[in-house]
Amino acid sequence: MNQDLQQLQPYPFEKLRALVADITPNPALSPISLSIGEPKHASPAFVLDAMAAHLDKAAIYPSTAGLPALRQGIADWLSQRFQLPTGMLDADRNVLPVTGTREALFSFTQAVVQRDPQGLVVSPNPFYQIYEGAALLAGVQPHYLACDASNGFIPDFDKVPADIWRRCQLLFICSPGNPTGAVTSLHTLQKLIALADEYDFVIASDECYSEIYSPAQPAPVGLLQACASLGRTDFSRCVVFHSLSKRSNLPGLRSGFIAGDARLLEPYLTYRTYHGCAMPVQTQLASLAAWQDEAHVQTNRSLYQAKFDAVLDILGDVMDVQRPDAGFYLWPVTPIDDETFTRRLLADQNVAVVPGRYLSRDVEGHNPGAGRVRLALVAPLGDCIEAAQRIRTFIRSL
């Protein structure tokens, strides 16, 4: 077996299961899970209808590059959403459908990184654990940049030593962030592009939460938008990842895309051809229908904001918690140790959350997730309100 497999840490939810294995949740209360970020809103019926209408395409081997119509639909969506100049995106060269961002984030790392014991994949901390595992299995080391409240939960890139940038092969950014919901500014994205040019590394921007934001606020900016603002028409060293999982409540569809630098996507397509992860044709056609519709996305946004309004109203005076820039997580400070909080909340109130330390790593004795929990507001509004009321009751009992 690959010796690097031994470096992989248990996934956060494996740690959570071990943490609460001996806990008996309060049987008088129905279980409410705020732990896993799996959207629970209804999937758009027209997308499911599109898939059903093309089930006969299951008899066709799909192309790894995807249908031209899907690539064009994605290019059109990106251009409209991120205000890209007409013609800046070439659907044949700058867009590649993928079977979900998790698969693509991992496989892109394997394709772009050169094995080097001194090489680094740099990522935010806390982070999506795929970044770390992908780095280790690509033969380099992960390097973590703390996301603390003192810097708005965005890494302080100005404090990164030059030696780290020199060793960096791939920089992961996540905007809006998981679990913090922080949005990286256009200015910061422009700064990172300049650093990528200076030190010759690739920026991979995970933007899968970009469409969940307050309808009253501007939409989060993206890395391709930053490229356009700089006149960087070739998107050099820059790629973005998007998904229908959160935007369209379709996590089981396993559909997303990577877009950006054609010089990176061309060899990555070769890798994917060998990797064997082409999206089924019926899934591609259903995905095209989803990318071409914004009405269901606007409805989705409003549903999440109603949850934030209600839950923050209930928890605001008993927890240190703020409304995030975007996404569907809350990242509150716990009044006691985050693991103890998680165990006792489940036992007393039958509400499941994730300790913040499980989403982060200790670096020089500091874990930026310790003393926090992640609350995923994915359950129906009534359940989110009930969970918030139970959390409030629990905190007041401490």
Dihedral sign from CA coordinates of 306, 311, 317, 323: negative
Pick from 237, 262, 293: which residue ends a domain? 293
Q: Other CB atoms closer than 10 Å to residue 6's CB: what's the count?
A: 8
Q: Are residues 32 and 77 part of one domain? A: no
Percent with pLDDT over 90 in the chain: 98
Q: pLDDT tens digit string along 355-380?
A: 999 999 999 999 999 999 999 999 99
Instruction: Provide the CATH number for the domain around residue 274.
Output: 3.40.640.10
**What does the pLDDT read at residue 71?**
98
97 in the same domain as 7 = no
Q: DSSP string covering 269-321, please?
A: HHHHHHHT-PPPHHHHHHHHHHHT--HHHHHHHHHHHHHHHHHHHHHTTTSB-
Residue 218: cis peptide before it, omega within 30 degrees of 0? no
Residue 290 pLDDT: 98
Q: Which of 4-8, 204-208, 260-264, 390-394 has the lowest mean pLDDT?
A: 4-8
pLDDT in tens, 142-196: 999 999 999 999 999 999 999 999 999 999 999 999 999 999 999 999 999 999 9
pLDDT score at 396: 97
pLDDT at 266: 98
pLDDT of residue 223: 98
2-61: pLDDT as tens digits: 999 999 999 999 999 999 999 999 999 999 999 999 999 999 999 999 999 999 999 999
Considering the domain architecture, whether residues 313 and 384 belong to the same structural domain is answered as yes
pLDDT of residue 370: 98
Residue-wise pLDDT for 383-394, tens only, equals 999 999 999 999
User: CB–CB of 169/119 below 8 Å?
Assistant: yes
* Residue 34 shares a structural domain with residue 105: no
**Model pLDDT, residue 120:** 98
CATH value at residue 361: 3.90.1150.10
Here the tokens at position 101 are 């961002």
**CA-based nearest residue to 292, from 72, 94, 105, 127:** 72
Q: Kindly provide the residue ranges of all beta strands, DSSP E only, lying in the chain, ordered along the sequence.
A: 32-33, 95-98, 120-125, 141-146, 168-174, 202-206, 238-243, 256-260, 329-330, 351-352, 354-355, 373-376
Radius of gyration of the chain measured on its C-alpha atoms: 21
Q: Answer yes or no: do 16 and 144 share one domain.
A: no
Do 372 and 262 have their domain in common? no
pLDDT at 68: 98
Average pLDDT of the chain?
A: 97
The tens digit of pLDDT for each residue in 74-85 reads: 999 999 999 999
In the prediction, which pLDDT does 6 show? 94
Query: Which band of pLDDT confidence, cut at 50, 70 and 90, is reported for residue 335?
Result: very high
Tally of domains in the chain: 2
pTM over 0.85: yes
Which of 270, 293, 316 is the C-terminal boundary of a domain? 293
Domain of residue 86 covers 45-293
| Same domain membership, residue 250 and residue 159 | yes
- Provide the pLDDT for residue 243: 97
Q: Is 145 exposed, middle or buried (0-12, 13-18, 19+ CB in 10 A)?
A: buried
Task: Tell whether 190 and 325 lie within a shared domain.
Answer: no
Same domain for 381 and 240: no
Asked if 80 and 217 sit in the same domain, the reply is yes
Domain boundary among 228, 263, 293: 293
Q: What are phi and psi of 227, to 5 degrees?
A: -60, -45
Does 69 share its domain with 178?
A: yes
* Claim to verify: residue 350 and residue 273 sit in the same structural domain: no
**pLDDT value at residue 384:** 98
